[in-house]
Amino acid sequence: MEQKVLSFAQENHASMPLLEQLHREIAAFKEYGKETACLEFPHPAVRIPVYVNEFWTSKQRAAHSLHEISYRACFKPQLPRFFITRLTVEGGVVYDPFMGRGTTVIEAALLNRLPLGCDINPLSRILTYPRLNLPEIAEVKERLERIDLEAPRDVREDLLVFYHPETLRAIVNLREYLLKREEHGEMDGVDAWIRMVATNRLTGHSSGFFSVYTMPPNQAVSIESQRKINERRAQTPPPRDVKAIIMRKSRSLLRNVTKSEAALLRRLAARARLITSSAERTPGIEDNTVHLVVTSPPFLDVVNYRQDNWLRCWFNGIDPRSVNIWQLNKPEEWQEKMTGVFRELKRVLVPGGWVAFEVGEVRSGKLLLETLAVPAAMRAGLVPEMVIVNSQAFTKTSNCWGIENLKKGTNSNRIVLLRKPLSG
């Protein structure tokens, strides 16, 4: 059950500053029967509390069906909802500079906040915007019926490790149709929806995907790796009905959408701004306009987005070599990049605006990225207020750094909460 509290941005605390009230709620939080552990930040020069509890889980509320788009290293919708409902009011502006699959953007829109998003990867906008500008399911069905997926086509022979020949021909026909519509400026919301769903169904581990069994659907293995999977499992790609799979996934994504939600999302889609750019350079976003940022930046050493998305890029006519996604391996390099991002966030935030910056443990828990993020934010002129660790399993103790159940393999998030000063 979702906690019923007023947003701090809505309450008028004449005798208690907003920040103090927020600290009090987080410290007293026990929605799931656990008390919050209040710890110290592991650096003597930084005196901010670290709150550890189960603040949001899958039990808090079932995530909206519109979020069911697979993407590597994405957080649950409950995370942005926790901060959006507490730190903004309806009509406020919520921004994610590392948009990914659009979790923050979609959740903000569902909560009637104006969503802004940015990602260097053009796939991000392809996967996000159609879930704001929703088509009717009958429109999707009618459009698919008009597309000829059986026309003779030259195909990439190496992709037959993933697809039955008939399935690959259908995929190539759909790809050519979409690329031509885009090239001629004819792509509408229905086409964009079909492209999004097809991009998400390219590979996976069940009959709900176009491919034979492969790795989970948030990444694509290499051709050679798929050959080995096929040999190990003694499998060959079966024929798949591409149109039927797209329709089935479309119905699944839209199953929770009410008429009022669809109207709200379409209304916000006309004003939403989703840009393809680097997070530290976003001139398309005006100064002092954003109330809340909720994001998760690239981690160290963990994810190779270009390698994971090679097949999605092919389907969408994108050269992955042209996508300059950060692959940061050195802590000092990561910290320098984040300092630039924080400077840009300070520019776009309203005075007193917030940043919820989700980081994680890397290198088997030996490096906690908040210890790099906090100094970077301070150098950029943002004020660190707290670290919130959401964990479904934790030990109340005076020091959580190094606790086994907050390390690799547990269901936890670590969020640095920052604020733009009211002046300066």
Q: Is 204 exposed, middle or buried (0-12, 13-18, 19+ CB in 10 A)?
A: buried
- Which pLDDT belongs to residue 416? 96
Region 171-175: mean pLDDT is 98
Same domain, 101 and 146: no
Same domain, 204 and 235: yes
How does pLDDT run across 140-165, given as a tens digit for each residue? 999 999 999 999 999 999 999 999 99
pLDDT confidence band for 191 (50 / 70 / 90): very high
Region 124-132: mean pLDDT is 97
Q: Within a 13 Å sphere around the CA of 250, how many CA atoms are in the beta-carbon half?
A: 26
How does pLDDT run across 268-312, given as a tens digit for each residue? 999 999 999 999 999 999 999 999 999 999 877 656 666 788 999
Same domain, 84 and 178: no
CA gap 404, 402 in Å, rounded: 6
Structural domain includes residue 13? no
How does pLDDT run across 327-357, given as a tens digit for each residue? 777 889 999 999 999 999 999 999 999 999 9
Instruction: Indicate the residue type of 396.
Output: K
Instruction: Indicate the residue type of 256.
Output: N
CA gap 344, 329 in Å, rounded: 22
pLDDT confidence band for 17 (50 / 70 / 90): low
Q: How far, rounded to the nearest angstrom, does the alpha carbon of residue 399 sit from its chain's CA centroid?
A: 30
- Opening angle at CA 316, ends 313 and 322, nearest 5: 45
Number of Cβ within a 10 Å radius of residue 211: 27
Structural domain includes residue 12? no
pTM (whole model) above 0.85? yes
Same domain, 212 and 345: no
Domain stops at, among 238, 253, 268: 253
Nearest to 315 by CA among 128, 177, 143: 177
How does pLDDT run across 74-113, given as a tens digit for each residue? 788 999 999 999 999 999 999 999 999 999 999 999 999 9
Same domain, 244 and 280: no
CA gap 363, 73 in Å, rounded: 15
- Which pLDDT belongs to residue 19? 84
Same domain, 293 and 228: no
**The two three-digit tokens of residue 194, written as one number:** 């079909």
Same domain, 181 and 201: yes
Domain stops at, among 253, 273, 300: 253
Domain assignment of residue 247, given as a range: 137-253
Domains held by the chain: number: 2
Task: Give the H/E segment covering residue 377.
Answer: helix 370-379
- Which pLDDT belongs to residue 313? 94
Same domain, 233 and 191: yes
